[in-house]
A and B are shown apart, each in its own frame.
Chain A
Amino acid sequence: MEKKWKNPQSIIVIAIIAIIFCYIFVDLFLNKPQMNNDIKELKSQYNELSIFLDKKIPEIDSTFSIQSKQLQEQKQQMDSLELTLSHKIR
């Protein structure tokens, strides 16, 4: 029985099994961390974006309020012009 386990055929099969398991372990412990690095990088990019948005969103809000004021002013100017014209035409 022991002889059967030590013959060349058994050694070749054991080597094949060992290579397959080694490959699985290499894939698990060397290649997977690369994926984790990608996720970490993405997380840092998201953090940058959220910081950027924290600054930008109030600016956007203020822009809308400024533009609404400008539009109101335009409306006032147009009303005033219309009033002047109607007076002059009369």
Chain B
Amino acid sequence: MASIPFEKLNINRFWEKTPTPLKYILIFTILISTSYFIVSKRIDDSRFKEIDTMKRGIVATYELIDNFEEFRKEQDTYNKEVLNYLKNLHALVEDLNATTNRKFDILMNSGNKNTGDIIEKIQILNESFERVSKVYEGNIQTPNLDDNKVKKDYNIKIEVTRQVTRKDSIK
């Protein structure tokens, strides 16, 4: 069995030969450095958390504005479509009313007249159907606001390099 020469590395002898003021200075230095690193780590951690929260707040504000922009565009389009739809519907009601009156007039005036009148009636019917189809062609799409997500990258990076060096230094 190989024996390690502990006598040469005797810590007691080493400590004995060190001057007493130096011993006190060493102990105080160790205490001061330990307390410094503990306090500064806590301060740094709280600062990092604060900075992180602020950065997240900035990104959230940009996201909110972006979502609002999307909402504004979709709501604007929707409102215009509704207005257009209502206008067309109004026009259709008026047209249908006029067409119905014309139909009644033609029916009353036609009597025994033949094909020409019948063709005209069919044409009037076709016009009505065309108008109906025009109005209902573009069905209004309600805005789907759930899918509005921000795709922009605002280049706000949360730096962790400092934290890593701090942890390493404590180890």
Interface size on A, residues (CB 8 A): 41
Is there a chain B Cβ closer than 8 Å to A65's Cβ?
Answer: no
A20 to B28, CA, bound (A): 11
- What's the nearest-Cβ distance from chain B to residue A75, in Å? 10
A42 to B55, CA, bound (A): 7
Is there a chain A Cβ closer than 8 Å to B156's Cβ?
Answer: yes
Residues of A within 8 A of B55 (CB): 42, 45
Cβ-defined contact, A45 with B58, below 8 A = yes
Cβ-defined contact, A77 with B83, below 8 A = yes
Residue among B29, B83, B86, B166 making CB contact with A21, cutoff 8 Å: B29
Cβ-defined contact, A16 with B26, below 8 A = yes
Residue among A10, A16, A35, A60 making CB contact with B44, cutoff 8 Å: A35
Cβ-defined contact, B68 with A46, below 8 A = no
Residues of A within 8 A of B26 (CB): 13, 16-17
Chain A at the B interface: SS class? helix
A5 to B23, CA, bound (A): 12
Is there a chain B Cβ closer than 8 Å to A24's Cβ?
Answer: yes
A17 to B23, CA, bound (A): 10
The answer to whether A20 and B33 touch (CB under 8 A), given A4-B17, A38-B159, A67-B79, is yes
The answer to whether A45 and B79 touch (CB under 8 A), given A9-B18, A39-B51, A81-B89, is no
Residue among B40, B79, B156 making CB contact with A74, cutoff 8 Å: B79
CB neighbors of A among B85-136 (8 A): 86-87, 89-90, 93-94, 97
Is there a chain A Cβ closer than 8 Å to B149's Cβ?
Answer: no
Residues of A within 8 A of B97 (CB): 88
A-B contact pairs, 9 of them (CB 8 A): A20-B30, A24-B32, A27-B37, A34-B161, A38-B51, A38-B159, A63-B72, A67-B79, A85-B93
